[in-house]
Each structure stands twice: as structure tokens, then as C-alpha cells.
Chain A
Amino acid sequence: MDFKASLALIAPEILLSLSSLALLLVAAWGRNSSRLVSILAAVALGGAAFVAAPALCAGAMGPDTMAFGGQFAADAFASFSTILIYVAAIACLMVAPTFFDRNGAMRPEYPVLVLLATLGMGIMVSATDFITLYIGLELNSLAAYVLASFMRADDRSAEAGLKYFVLGALASGILLYGISLVYGFTGTTSFEGARAALTGELSMGALFGLIFVLAGLAFKISAVPFHMWTPDVYEGAPTPVTTFFSTAPKVAAIALTARVALDAFGAQVDAWRQIVIFAALASIILGALGAIGQGNLKRLLAYSSINNVGFILIGLAAATASGASAMLVYLAIYVAMSLGSFVAVLMLRTAEGEQLEGVADIAGLSRTRPLLALCLAAMMFSLAGIPPLFGFWGKFVVFQAAVQADLVALAAIGIAASVIGAFYYIKIVKVMYFDEPVDVVKGGSDWAHWLILGATTLFVSPLGYLLTGPLGELADRAAAALFFVA
């Protein structure tokens, strides 16, 4: 494959790199250009999504999608994930200005950092070589560390950034160590080569490599037992950044994990399946138990995201095309639910515009702000997986894949544990609907918040089921691309 064709395949990434560099220059010259830079960044993301879309619609897969000698795959799977990431990033750009403006902290660097992080994620989901993987991961992480401590005058934000950095660096170290072991025992860094080398009996060294790689990735997707940074970082980071963290990087890390597990280690499913099953069940249970005692909504939603990762990993444990497809469907629904919940939290403001995050602050919200309460309640029931809300469908396809892969016991334990999670979701509904109003949520909200909350609420409402056909078809195409080599 020649160089020109490779460049054509990475067109979305080139577009994002050039626009982030250009916007950095704009930011350097105009201190008050944050709104303009935000809009341009969103336009660039939209453009990149538009450029990436044809690969998904055509179900692109195979050698034609490989760029730079097999280091980068612009296939349907990558396309599905990147589009999801770009859409989430656009939403996070839209909700940020209102939040930061009030603190006088809005800077044009924010959209630029989001763009760079998104670029890293695009590389992550397309990586078919451990080196490409690492470059994408670090590009994403470095931008994310800065974003977490974006409100540098705020102690909590600075602490979140530092914590994220130290633990993230540790995870990167673990991942690199695992990659070096895999390289040492297979003699290659490409996924395809690793897959060909890792057949039959797995050597002890290669097994250690596999475990370290998965441990490093488990940290990035915040699966138990590598989840402990999540609540602190989610709570400390500014809420728009938390919204970003809980959506786009999650999609990227999970898609990356799926590709590594099913492609590079695809011949050793039995070796990693038990690890994934453990991580899945532990995430579901600990994520649910941890959330019960939380009094801070952001912290609670952090545990909720750990819980959801557990369900997604059940799809991975199936190790089938329908399992991968189920993961993508779940991810799409999860992104909508997560965006909606965090935007609803962003809209909780006092009359003075101060941000509220406590569970107690939303007591009786259904009487003071009925529409907001209705949207948040829909999100909660959806996260709990209660039909007829669309969150149920995500759980449904994941468990269906597990049952089809003969993992009935895993499915039964997983779904029984989901009842624990339902407890704290309905607790939020109880606080909003059954308790006496405290009436502290007064602040007005801008149109961007309502737009995103409205759109996500419609998506998780029963109307979402009308999308089951197209969504399932696209996810199937993406999953087929992932399994092309198999």
C-alpha cells in the first residue's frame, strides 16, 4: 500500500491535527477567542465524523483499510467508535462555556485540549500495533491530565489532575511492561503478528505480558480492581470535564480493549476470558455497592460508570461477533445516558449560579423543576436497565450475547447483581419525587444544556427502540470488521 492511500485513510486524524494546531495559534493570539475556538473545534469534530462515516456505512474491513504497513486500521469498527467519540466530544464542548464563564476560567485552550484528546482516542481505536496504541493512549492521557486540573485555582481540580496523572502514569508503565513482554515472546508489535505467534500453548512469559496489558487497559476503562482513581477524579474535575471523561475516553478505551483482546490475543480467548469475567462481575458488584453510600452526585455517577463498564465487559467475555456488536450498542446507549445525567447535574445551580452536586440538593426537584426531574429520572431508570427505557436494550443485547456464547451462569449472576445497582438509581428518583422540596435549584439554564438533555432523554425514552434496527446493523458491521482476521 502506498503512502498516498495511507494518508487518505487517516484523513479524519489529519483534519483534527491540523485544526488543533491552527486553533492553538488562534488561542495564542486572542485571549478572548474561546467561544470562536469552541465553535471551530466542534465544526472540526463534526467534519472529522463526516469524513469517517463512509467507512462505517460501507462496512469497510480487510487489507484495504490498513494504513502504514498494518499499524493503523480505518475499518468499520474504528469508524463506529470514532463517530461516537466525536459526537460525545462535541456535546462536551457545547456544555462547557456556561460552566467556565461563571468562574472566569474559560480559556481557548479547553477546546484545543479536547481536540487533542479526541485525536488520541481516534488513534487508539484504530491502532493495530502496540506502538500506535501507546502513542494514541498517551496523546489522549496527557491532554486529559491537563483537562482534569483545568480550574487550577480550585484545590479539588488540581488534586484530581495530580491523582489522575500519577495513577495514569503507573497504568501506562504496567501497560508498557506488558507490551514489552509480548514483544519479547512474539518478536512483533503488530496485532496480526502477535495473534499468529500466540497460538497453542501459551508460554508463561507471554501470559504475563497478556495479563499486564489487560491490567493497564483495565485501568483506562476503570474496571475493578483498577477503578480506585475514578470517583476521586470524577468528583474533583470540573463537571464538563467529568462529562467528557465518562463518555469519549471510555468509548476509546473499551474499543481499544476489545480490539486488543479479540485481535492481538484473539487466539488465546480462554487465557483472558476468566480475567474479563472476574473484572466484569467485580465491576458490576463493587460499582453498585460503592454507589449506595454516596452523597455527591458526581461521585455516584462515577461508581455508576464503573458498574456499566462491568456490563460492557460481559459482552467482551462472550468473545463473539455478536458480543462485540452488543458492546458497541451498549456503548452508544451508555454515552447518551452518561451525557444526559452529567448535563442534568450541570444544570443544578443556585440563584447565584453556584454549582450544586449533592444528592440532598435535588430533594423534591420534581415539584420545583418538573421537566428537569423527569429527564433525570428517565436517565436513572434507564441506567438501572428498567424497560421500557432504552438502557434496558443495552443490557439485553449484552446478556443475549453472553447466553448465545453459553455463558448462562455469568449472565444470571450479572443480571442478579444489577438489582443492587437498581437500588441507588431508584434512590435518586425517590429523593427527587418523594421527598419534600428544599428548593435550592433556581438557576436558569442555557439552550445548549436543554438541547443535549432533551436529545439524550428522547434517545433513552421508549422512542429509542425504533433505532434498534439501524443501530444493531451498524454495530454488526463494525463487529464484523473486528472479526475479519478470525
Chain B
Amino acid sequence: MGGFPILSVMLLVPLLAGIACLFVEAKAARTIALAATLVDLALGIALWLNFDIGGAQWQFTERAPIFAGFNYALGIDGIAMLLIVLSVFLMPICILASQSIEKRVGEYMAAFLFMEVLMIGVFAAQDLFLFYIFFEAGLIPMYLIIGIWGGQNRIYASYKFFLYTLLGSVLMLIAMLWMVNEAGTTDIPTLMQYDFPAGAQTWLWLAFFASFAVKMPMWPVHTWLPDAHVQAPTAGSVILAGVLLKMGGYGFIRFSLPMFPEASAQFVWLIWGLSMAAVVITSLIALVQQDMKKLIAYSSVAHMAIVTVGLFAFNVQGLEGAMIVMLSHGLVSGALFLCVGVIYDRLHTREIDRYGGLAINMPKYALFFLLFTMASIGLPGTSGFVGEFLSLAGIYQANTWVTLVCATGIILGAGYMLYLYWRIAFGVQKNADAAAMPDLSLREWLMLAPIAAAVLWMGVYPESFLAPMRQDIAALDARLSRAAPEGDAHLVAGTPRAEAANAVGGTHSVGHGEAEGAH
């Protein structure tokens, strides 16, 4: 791309469009918002295509000394690039999903576009304080989105969301100030290589944990999530689940792990313990939900717990798996919220019992819903499988008991998702109004089909998504290796085959390929 400041342009387009949306009427605002998000999507694809896999770690870097105390510095690695692409991919879909919004459309679109600016900013920021500003600023549009366009109990949910996440992140600011004072730089890539004293790492890690654990969200500080999800409008839920939750995981992978490897190893049991609790407890809670959105919200907490165990497995599989689960969850849970939104727009209730037998009158809808249900469970061939398998394979090397507990999450996940699907799509059409609902419109096709394609692509050929971040994960793994806790699996790798497993006409070498566990 030469000297073209593509990241700044990606920030500028939705920003200007957002300001414009404040001053125009509803129809124009919808058009402007859709156009701006599509332009950003195009830029995001350009970003991916021009990303030099195997090249420099930080690409598309930009730097401008326009502030005192911190820098306007942007730049991305493979991890950030994929998350940016996920954000810009979901945004036009969110705008399409917002057709049912009728009050204060201009402000609504502006809030979403500002949100997009902040999300891209979080992933692209290369300066510690610039990151903090983007990270924290997301509270304002999200507070307004939940509070103005949310459901019945929106005021409570908006307060809870705002204060919970604010309390989490202010302590992180103090930790950042200390780090900058100690290291003498605000540059994230430099700080990622800086060795903080082990004693200080403990406190710094805890301060960052307070912020990211709330954002993630980890059990037991997850309680803002179901409230916020249920009360937010459909597109708000998609953005919350699709991108905002990824900020917590991104924070762990960008800050906690590389900057404080010793402290990360020290607190590994805290993370594992909370994640195991989350997987089992929130899955069981999801099993008894009567509200579709709440069920999916709780399932998000369980999936995020798989991300945290993957991240804190301290090996390549775990980290790669965590990243894929994040990307996959962004697509799948976003799609599931859209599926809920589709029938919510028709019947205006999220209560599961009010539906039933939708496979009869809405077969196309039922097909999409089934695909996303399966992806959420982690059926092979969908993106969910790749991520969950890699994460669990990673954690198996570190601790087999944690793997055992977390693997139950997949079974429980199958339980609540299939139960949900059965109650909504199968069975008799017990409610006349639900039975009269029309199938997907063109707009809904446009929303669901791209996500479905992406889910299958990631499930069948994950290499496209693994390749850009392979080098960054390896660098992170190298940085972590000095602190990695010793695993209890003691895996012994066998001799690899001479050629690929599906090679035809080669020599018959059998039995060497499988890795064997020592116990």
C-alpha cells in the first residue's frame, strides 16, 4: 500500500459518517451508515490482502506526534488484523439488522459508527494510552445504545454495564502509568519486550486482569453481560458479543501474557479455576433459560472461558485455538443473535415457549439457525470445532484435569443449544401467530449468508486464518516459554511420517504418526 495511511482512513470514514448521521433524517442516515461500513469492509479486505504474511511483525504502521504524553501510533500484527477484519465484517450486517429501529435513527447510526471507530482503534493502537482511550471510550456509545434503544429493563442494564466495566478499567490505567514511568516509553511493541521486575508484575497483572476479566467476561464478574445482552437491541448484542468481548481476550494476548509472563504463570490457577467454574456453571445456567438472548449470552461466557484456558495454556496450540475461538465466537454468536432478532422482529418476544415448529413455516431460517447452532456446539466442519479442538489440545499439554472439566462444556453446550433448537424449530406449531410468520426476506438473507459462508470457510480451511497470525503466536510463545508451567501430560511426540497421511502410492509407514500420552 506504500505510504497510504489505511488504518487512519479506516478510522476516519466511520467517524465522519457518524457525525454526518447526527444531522440528517432517518432514511439518509441508514444509507450513509451502510455505505460507510461497506467502505470500511472494503478497506478491511484490502488490509488482509496486503498483509505480508511472514513479513515484518508490525505492518501498516503510522505515527504522528500530535499529542503530549502519548503518541498517535497505529500498526497491526496478524492477530490485530484478523480482529479488525472481524469488526468491519460484522458492522454492515449490524446496520442491516437495524431496520426495525424506528426512533432516533440518526443518533443510533452515529453511535454504531463511533463504536466501529473505537473498535478498530483498540486493535490498531500501538501506544499504551491511545489504546486505553479507545478501550474506555467504547463505554459511551454502548451506554447510549443500551439505554436508548434497549428493552424493558434497559436503564438498569446500562448502568450496570457502564459502572462495572469502568471500575474494571480504571485500575488498569494506574498500572499503565506505573509501567510507563518504569519503562520510559508508551510504545506497545517495546513494552512487550520489556522485562518488568517479578514483584511488580504481580500487581500489574492483577490490575490488567481486573479490566480484562470484566470485559471478557469471566465468571464471577460476568453478570453485566446477560443483562446488557438481553436489553440491547439486536445489532447491539451482535457488536457486544462479536467484537466487544474480544477486547478482553485481545488484552490478555497483547498485554498480560507478553508483558508479565512470570505473573501470568503465577496466576495460571486463578485463570484455570475461574474458567472451569465458568464452563460448568454458566452452561448449566444456560440450560434453564426461558429467554433466547439470555441463553446465548450465558453460552458466550462459557465460550470465553475456553478462550482463557487456551490463552493460559502457554503453548502454540492453546494460543491459536483461543484466537480461532474468538473469531469463531464473534461470527457464530453474532449470527445467533441475528437469528433471534429475525424472529423477534416478527413476534416481539424472546420467550422460547412462544415459538415452536418454525422448521415448518420458515425452513430456510431453520437451516441457517441449525448451522449456527452446530457451529456453536463445535461440530466438525464448522469454525467452532477448529477453535475448541485446538484450545483443548493446548490445555491438555498443560493440565489434563482442566481439559477434562472444560471438555464437559462441549457436551453441555450441545445440550443447551440442541434443546433450544428443538423448542424453537421442531415440534408442533403450538402458537398460531408463530406459525404464520413468513420466511427470511432478502435483507435477512444478506445478513446471514455471509456469516454462514465465513463459518464454513473457517471450519473447512482454517489455514487462511491461522497463517497471518502464526508468526505472532510463535513470537509470543517464545516470550512465554521461560515462564511456562510444567504440564502434567508429558506428551512424547513420535517420529513424523515421511509424507502426508493422504499420499497415494507411497511406502507403507504406519503407526509412527500418533502422539502418545505417557499416562
* Partner-binding segment picked from A269-277, A288-296, A419-427: A419-427
Would you call A342 an interface residue if the criterion is a C-beta within 8 Å of the partner chain's C-beta atoms?
no
Q: Decide if B154 touches A423 in the complex (CB within 8 Å).
A: no
Would you call A392 an interface residue if the criterion is a C-beta within 8 Å of the partner chain's C-beta atoms?
yes
Would you call B308 an interface residue if the criterion is a C-beta within 8 Å of the partner chain's C-beta atoms?
no
Would you call B144 an interface residue if the criterion is a C-beta within 8 Å of the partner chain's C-beta atoms?
yes
List, in ascending order, chain A residues with CB within 8 A of B35's CB. none
List, in ascending order, chain B residues with CB within 8 A of A399's CB. 173-174, 177
Q: Decide if A403 touches B137 in the complex (CB within 8 Å).
A: no
Q: Decide if A411 touches B67 in the complex (CB within 8 Å).
A: no
Q: List residues 376-410 of chain A with CB under 8 A from any CB of chain B.
A: 381, 386-388, 392, 396-397, 399-400, 403-404, 408
Contact with B along A429-466 (1 / 0, CB 8 A): 11001100000000000000000000000000000011
* Partner-binding segment picked from B158-166, B333-341, B504-512: B158-166
List, in ascending order, chain B residues with CB within 8 A of A18's CB. none
* Complex alpha-carbon distance, A73 and B139, angstroms: 45
Q: Decide if A403 touches B177 in the complex (CB within 8 Å).
A: yes
Shortest CB-to-CB span from A120 to chain B, Å, is 33
Would you call B171 an interface residue if the criterion is a C-beta within 8 Å of the partner chain's C-beta atoms?
yes
Q: A386-B137, A419-B163, A426-B143 are in contact. Are A469 and B174 (CB under 8 A)?
A: no
B interface residues, tally (CB under 8 Å): 33
Would you call A415 an interface residue if the criterion is a C-beta within 8 Å of the partner chain's C-beta atoms?
yes
* Complex alpha-carbon distance, A96 and B290, angstroms: 58
* Complex alpha-carbon distance, A465 and B67, angstroms: 6
* Best-surrounded residue of B163, B167, B173, B178 (most CB of chain A within 10 A): B173
Would you call A7 an interface residue if the criterion is a C-beta within 8 Å of the partner chain's C-beta atoms?
no
List, in ascending order, chain A residues with CB within 8 A of B177's CB. 399-400, 403, 411
Cβ contact of A386, chosen from B134, B136, B144, cutoff 8 A? B136
List, in ascending order, chain B residues with CB within 8 A of A381's CB. 140
Shortest CB-to-CB span from B40 to chain A, Å, is 19
Q: Decide if B178 touches A403 in the complex (CB within 8 Å).
A: yes
Q: Decide if A422 touches B162 in the complex (CB within 8 Å).
A: yes
List, in ascending order, chain B residues with CB within 8 A of A386's CB. 136-137, 139-140, 166
Would you call B133 an interface residue if the criterion is a C-beta within 8 Å of the partner chain's C-beta atoms?
yes
Residue of B nearest to A468 (CB): B68
Residue of A nearest to B146 (CB): A434
List, in ascending order, chain B residues with CB within 8 A of A57's CB. none
Q: Decide if B147 touches A415 in the complex (CB within 8 Å).
A: no
Q: A418-B170, A419-B170 are in contact. Are A433 and B136 (CB under 8 A)?
A: no
Q: Decide if A403 touches B181 in the complex (CB within 8 Å).
A: yes
Shortest CB-to-CB span from A115 to chain B, Å, is 34
Q: Decide if B147 touches A397 in the complex (CB within 8 Å).
A: no
Q: Decide if A397 touches B69 in the complex (CB within 8 Å).
A: yes
Would you call B148 an interface residue if the criterion is a C-beta within 8 Å of the partner chain's C-beta atoms?
yes
Would you call A412 an interface residue if the criterion is a C-beta within 8 Å of the partner chain's C-beta atoms?
yes
List, in ascending order, chain B residues with CB within 8 A of A416's CB. 167, 170-171
Q: Decide if A422 touches B133 in the complex (CB within 8 Å).
A: no
Q: Decide if A412 touches B174 in the complex (CB within 8 Å).
A: yes
List, in ascending order, chain A residues with CB within 8 A of B166's CB. 386, 419, 422
Would you call B132 an interface residue if the criterion is a C-beta within 8 Å of the partner chain's C-beta atoms?
yes
Cβ contact of A419, chosen from B133, B167, B178, cutoff 8 A? B167
Residue of B nearest to A367 (CB): B104
List, in ascending order, chain B residues with CB within 8 A of A418's CB. 170
Would you call A472 an interface residue if the criterion is a C-beta within 8 Å of the partner chain's C-beta atoms?
yes
Contact with A along B320-353 (1 / 0, CB 8 A): 0000000000000000000000000000000000
Q: List residues 165-192 of chain B with CB under 8 A from any CB of chain A.
A: 166-167, 170-171, 173-174, 177-178, 181
Q: A386-B137, A411-B174 are in contact. Are A423 and B68 (CB under 8 A)?
A: no
Would you call B483 an interface residue if the criterion is a C-beta within 8 Å of the partner chain's C-beta atoms?
no
Contact with A along B102-129 (1 / 0, CB 8 A): 0010010000000000000000000001
Residue of A nearest to B150 (CB): A434
Residue of A nearest to B129 (CB): A396
List, in ascending order, chain A residues with CB within 8 A of B178's CB. 403, 408
List, in ascending order, chain A residues with CB within 8 A of B67's CB. 465-466, 468-469
* Complex alpha-carbon distance, A412 and B170, angstroms: 8
Q: Decide if A466 touches B174 in the complex (CB within 8 Å).
A: no
Q: Decide if B163 touches A387 in the complex (CB within 8 Å).
A: no
Q: Decide if A433 touches B144 in the complex (CB within 8 Å).
A: yes
Contact with B along A128-158 (1 / 0, CB 8 A): 0000000000000000000000000000000
Would you call B66 an interface residue if the criterion is a C-beta within 8 Å of the partner chain's C-beta atoms?
yes
Q: Decide if A466 touches B66 in the complex (CB within 8 Å).
A: yes
Cβ contact of A415, chosen from B104, B159, B174, cutoff 8 A? B174
Would you call B155 an interface residue if the criterion is a C-beta within 8 Å of the partner chain's C-beta atoms?
yes
Cβ contact of B155, chosen from A412, A430, A465, cutoff 8 A? A430
Residue of A nearest to B178 (CB): A403
* Complex alpha-carbon distance, A411 and B170, angstroms: 10
List, in ascending order, chain B residues with CB within 8 A of A434's CB. 147-148, 154-155, 158
Shortest CB-to-CB span from B449 to chain A, Å, is 35
* Complex alpha-carbon distance, A408 and B200, angstroms: 12
Q: Decide if B132 touches A426 in the complex (CB within 8 Å).
A: no
Q: Decide if A423 touches B159 in the complex (CB within 8 Å).
A: yes
Residue of B nearest to A404 (CB): B181
Q: Decide if B158 touches A430 in the complex (CB within 8 Å).
A: yes
* Complex alpha-carbon distance, A468 and B71, angstroms: 11
List, in ascending order, chain B residues with CB within 8 A of A397's CB. 69
* Complex alpha-carbon distance, A415 and B167, angstroms: 9
List, in ascending order, chain B residues with CB within 8 A of A471's CB. 68
Q: Decide if A403 touches B133 in the complex (CB within 8 Å).
A: no
List, in ascending order, chain A residues with CB within 8 A of B69's CB. 396-397, 400, 468, 472
Shortest CB-to-CB span from B199 to chain A, Å, is 13
* Complex alpha-carbon distance, A429 and B68, angstroms: 30
List, in ascending order, chain A residues with CB within 8 A of B129's CB. 396
List, in ascending order, chain A residues with CB within 8 A of B133's CB. 387-388, 392
* Best-surrounded residue of B132, B136, B144, B170 (most CB of chain A within 10 A): B170
Shortest CB-to-CB span from B209 to chain A, Å, is 14
Q: A415-B170, A419-B167, A472-B68 are in contact. Are A387 and B148 (CB under 8 A)?
A: no
Residue of A nearest to B135 (CB): A387
Q: List residues 334-363 of chain A with CB under 8 A from any CB of chain B.
A: none
* Complex alpha-carbon distance, A403 and B140, angstroms: 27
List, in ascending order, chain B residues with CB within 8 A of A466's CB. 66-67
* Complex alpha-carbon distance, A396 and B143, angstroms: 22
* Complex alpha-carbon distance, A473 and B66, angstroms: 14
Contact with A along B55-89 (1 / 0, CB 8 A): 00000000000111100000000000000000000
List, in ascending order, chain B residues with CB within 8 A of A419's CB. 163, 166-167, 170
Shortest CB-to-CB span from B106 to chain A, Å, is 10
Q: List residues 254-270 of chain B with CB under 8 A from any CB of chain A.
A: none
* Complex alpha-carbon distance, A471 and B68, angstroms: 9
Q: Decide if A423 touches B174 in the complex (CB within 8 Å).
A: no
* Complex alpha-carbon distance, A399 and B180, angstroms: 12
* Complex alpha-carbon distance, A416 and B170, angstroms: 7
List, in ascending order, chain A residues with CB within 8 A of B162's CB. 422, 426
* Best-surrounded residue of A408, A419, A473 (most CB of chain B within 10 A): A419
List, in ascending order, chain A residues with CB within 8 A of B148's CB. 433-434
Residue of B nearest to A393 (CB): B69
Q: Decide if B174 touches A387 in the complex (CB within 8 Å).
A: no
List, in ascending order, chain B residues with CB within 8 A of A388's CB. 133-134, 137
* Complex alpha-carbon distance, A400 and B159, angstroms: 28
List, in ascending order, chain A residues with CB within 8 A of B181's CB. 400, 403-404
Q: Decide if B159 touches A426 in the complex (CB within 8 Å).
A: yes
* Best-surrounded residue of A392, A400, A429 (most CB of chain B within 10 A): A400
List, in ascending order, chain B residues with CB within 8 A of A404's CB. 181
Q: Decide if A423 touches B147 in the complex (CB within 8 Å).
A: no
Q: A430-B155, A434-B154, A466-B66 are in contact. Are A422 and B163 (CB under 8 A)?
A: yes
**4 further contact pairs, Cβ within 8 A, besides A367-B104, A396-B129:** A408-B174, A423-B163, A468-B67, A472-B69
- Residues on A lying within 8 angstroms of B by beta carbon are 366-367, 381, 386-388, 392, 396-397, 399-400, 403-404, 408, 411-412, 415-416, 418-419, 422-423, 426, 429-430, 433-434, 465-466, 468-469, 471-473
Which 4 A-B pairs rank lowest in CB-CB distance, beginning with the nearest?
A387-B133, A468-B68, A403-B177, A469-B68
| 6 A/B residue pairs, CB under 8 Å, sorted by A | A412-B171, A418-B170, A423-B163, A430-B155, A430-B158, A434-B158
